[in-house]
Structure 1
Amino acid sequence: MVMWILRNIITTFPQDKTQAVGTKNQISSNQLYKYSSTSQPTKPPTTQSHSKSTTLTFQMSLPLTLISIFLLSSSLPIITSLTAYEALESYGFPAGLLPVGVTRYTLDEETGKFEAYLPDTCSYTVQGYNLKYKSTISGVISQDKITSLKGISVKVLFFWLDIVEVSRDGDELYLSVGIVSAGFDISGFVESPQCGCGFDCNELLGKIKEDESDKIMGLRSGL
């Protein structure tokens, strides 16, 4: 009888410490699972959210890039496919306002600012007036009017005066040196003059040939 009682006691009590510790660990794991299920841990960023962030950044930066390119390009002068003489005519002026030999020019079609370039300074006489051009001529051009002109001067008596404005009224061109302006028939500016000889280049060339012929005849008669 005593032996049967002892056997029952041993059976109901944990047989070793390992079983007891395992029971405690199981309880602790269950408690940890319950705690974890009630909390809201922060999830690490996924690849999809990173992709959306990159796309948004690109979409925001693209308009800024386009605006920067537009502002930069709008500040630069425009080089057109027309010649300088054709550009003058498109604004109602005759080509003869510029002498022969313009190498290049720039024109901002929005503001009208322009620059025309010659290989060197240029001077000639036309309709009794001595004109002189610098190697760079600049101003602001609009239909039938040029203002803020720089690089062209005319000799009046003993003084060289800068022509600051040119305007057209019908068949008349008006060249202004400030407080005084003079009108000219537009037919005198249809062709561009040559530097040095203006419109008299053919006469000058003929005279040179005549002088050379006279010299040759003189040498022959001397022989």
Structure 2
Amino acid sequence: MTHQLNINNTLFFIILVSSILISSRCANSESTIYDVLKSHGLPKGLLPKGVKDFSFDDSGRFEVHLDEACNAKFENELHYDQNISGNLSYGEINGLSGISAQDLFLWFDVKEIRVDVPSSGLIYFDVGFVSKQFSLSSFETPRDCLAVQSVDLQLYSDSTLPTQPAYNKVLSVCVCVCVCVCVCQHMVCDFTKKS
């Protein structure tokens, strides 16, 4: 009888431990990258709809794999490479690669995304030399993403942008041209008035 009781207790213990392990494994497999973003104080819509393949480790390092590169429209347009990676901590992603933002007609690599104060309703995208702010509500839900070829983009990073002295020279030339055009226009107006 005691032998039967020990076997029953052992079986019960094995079944209990197995069910706990299986349920915890199922719970982990059901979490999505969107849940991971949300639990780190970031909006789910930072990544496009339909991400299924991702990895996330205890150090905060994540990788996302999309079926293909794509663009999504927010206040500005965002480009997502097929592979996206970065380091996730509460309210911020740094060391980011695989996301680019369009400003005017230029594309810039996004290096960091952060939410400093959630109640401010703002999210910041750092492209290396400047930080752009957007409405946090724009990123509440994942957006549809239109497939594109990565080579279609003319990306600018810190190394490809004109240096400050070069930029100042271009700006000086533009100002000189504008002044010359205004002076010439004024002279033509004066000449036509006298005629």
Same structural fold, with TM-score higher than 0.5 when normalized by the shorter chain: yes
Q: What letter corresponds to residue 152 of structure 1 in structure 2? A: I
Stretches of structure 2 lacking an aligned partner (at least 5 in a row): 1-27, 148-195
Matched, 1:112 2:60: yes
Q: 1:84 aligns with which of 9, 21, 33?
A: 33
Could you tell me which residue of structure 2 aligns to residue 162 of structure 1? 109
CA distance in structure 1 between the aligned counterparts of 2:43 and 2:93, rounded to whole angstroms: 12
CA distance in structure 2 between the aligned counterparts of 1:186 and 1:154, rounded to whole angstroms: 16
Contact 2:111 2:128 in 1 (8 A): yes
Matched, 1:178 2:128: yes
Q: 1:136 aligns with which of 66, 83, 93?
A: 83
Pairing of 1:188-199 with structure 2 (within 5 A): 188-196=138-146
1:157, CA displacement in angstroms?
2.5
Matched, 1:101 2:50: yes
CA RMSD of aligned residues (A): 1.6
Contact 2:32 2:52 in 1 (8 A): no
Corresponding residue SS for 2:34: helix
Could you tell me which residue of structure 2 aligns to residue 201 of structure 1? none
Would you say how many aligned residue pairs link Structure 1 and Structure 2? Answer: 117
Change (3 A) 1:96 1:166: same
Contact 1:89 1:95 in 2 (8 A): yes
Pairing of 1:46-57 with structure 2 (within 5 A): none
Contact 1:80 1:107 in 2 (8 A): no
Stretches of structure 1 lacking an aligned partner (at least 5 in a row): 1-78, 198-223
CA distance in structure 2 between the aligned counterparts of 1:103 and 1:82, rounded to whole angstroms: 10
Pairing of 1:24-43 with structure 2 (within 5 A): none
1:81, CA displacement in angstroms?
4.2
Corresponding residue SS for 1:86: helix
Q: What letter corresponds to residue 131 of structure 2 in structure 1? A: S
After TM superposition, where is structure 1 displaced by more than 6 Å over at least 4 residues in a row? Answer: none
CA distance in structure 1 between the aligned counterparts of 2:140 and 2:77, rounded to whole angstroms: 18
1:153, CA displacement in angstroms?
0.3
Contact 1:101 1:119 in 2 (8 A): no
Corresponding residue SS for 1:169: coil
CA distance in structure 2 between the aligned counterparts of 1:164 and 1:81, rounded to whole angstroms: 29
CA distance in structure 2 between the aligned counterparts of 1:92 and 1:81, rounded to whole angstroms: 19
CA distance in structure 2 between the aligned counterparts of 1:166 and 1:131, rounded to whole angstroms: 13
Q: 2:100 aligns with which of 135, 145, 153?
A: 153
Contact 1:107 1:115 in 2 (8 A): yes
- Identity of counterpart residues, as a percentage? 38
